[in-house]
């Protein structure tokens, strides 16, 4: 690899110290490197990084920040299909595996093509009202549907490939990818799944039954969640969130259709730490 694009979380790399060091190192090694210094503000057609700012000859995108920054970058650049390397400026992450102490060895491996690329499964979600699409977005981690307003449970009617599955009376539902299985889904009691897998995990949030458990579906299944009525036939109001970033308000009768996305996220693996080792350190 010779041409690089760096995305920096300005809140994590104050004064862009690490960013400037990376740009200088690439320059010393004859590698062109453009920079996007994210402000955390979204723009037209993107959440964090403007895809049009990425040069056409870019071989690799380096993301400085943490797992959250890498999630945002992956969603913004999904159509670019470029490999991404995450450099973690905080705690150990599942996605951003390189820390500040390992930056230069990691850059050397990129320059000399000493790395592997993992294709991460993504989902796309469509919010539908009266047969019209209100919003559509992709997620690398999860699509979450939660109730709004005062403390109460909502009714979520679940369908798989057009057939009714069940109903959850709960605070919400998480539809997670394997990458997102170690996030909100895990906190809600969902299973840990290897990030190399391809599947969709449905996990209820605080369900009002003792026997509600997560359900794992094959990658090609299409999951639909319909918002049921509120108490006494009232209109229920909920929110759909994509990777904890973009969101959409929904109400009784609306459907959220979740299916496999038409693309994957390509994550560069350099560190000697594999998923099992990172998981063991996290669980300690």
| 169/73 Cα distance (integer angstroms) | 34
CA distance 271 to 260: 28
Query: DSSP letter string over 111-147?
Result: HTT--EEEEEP-EEEEEEETTEEEEEEEESSEEEEEE
Candidate list 13, 20, 59, 67, residue with the active-site label: 67
Rounded to whole angstroms, the Cα distance separating 154 from 227 reads 8
CA distances from 248 to 70, 84, 133, 134 (A): 22, 28, 11, 8
221 classed as catalytic: no
| Residues belonging to the active site | 67
């Amino acid at each position: 690899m010779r041409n690089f694009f760096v995305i920096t979380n300005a809140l994590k790399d104050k004064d862009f110290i690490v960013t400037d060091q990376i740009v200088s190192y690439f320059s010393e090694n004859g590698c062109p490197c453009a920079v996007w210094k994210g402000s955390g503000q979204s723009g037209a057609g993107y959440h964090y990084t403007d895809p049009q700012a990425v040069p056409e000859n870019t071989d690799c995108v380096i993301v400085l920040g943490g797992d959250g920054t890498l999630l945002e970058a992956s969603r913004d650049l999904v159509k670019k299909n470029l490999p991404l390397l995450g450099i973690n400026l905080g705690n150990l992450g599942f996605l951003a595996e390189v820390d500040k102490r390992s930056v230069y060895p990691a850059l050397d491996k990129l320059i000399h093509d000493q790395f592997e690329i993992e294709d991460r499964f993504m989902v796309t979600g469509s919010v539908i009202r009266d047969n019209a699409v209100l919003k559509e977005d992709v997620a690398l981690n999860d699509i979450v549907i939660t109730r709004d307003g005062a403390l109460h449970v909502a009714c979520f009617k679940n369908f798989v490939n057009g057939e009714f599955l069940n109903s959850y009376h709960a605070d919400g539902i998480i539809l997670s990818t394997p990458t997102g299985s170690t996030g909100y889904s895990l906190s809600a009691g969902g299973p840990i799944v290897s990030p190399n897998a391809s599947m969709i995990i449905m996990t209820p949030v605080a369900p009002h039954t003792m026997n509600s458990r997560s359900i794992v579906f094959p990658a090609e299944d299409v999951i639909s969640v319909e918002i049921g009525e509120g108490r006494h036939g009232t209109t229920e109001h909920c929110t759909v969130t994509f990777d904890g970033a973009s969101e959409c308000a929904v109400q009784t009768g609306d459907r959220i259709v979740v299916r496999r996305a038409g693309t994957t996220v390509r994550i560069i693996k350099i560190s000697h730490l594999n998923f099992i080792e990172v998981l063991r350190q996290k669980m300690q």
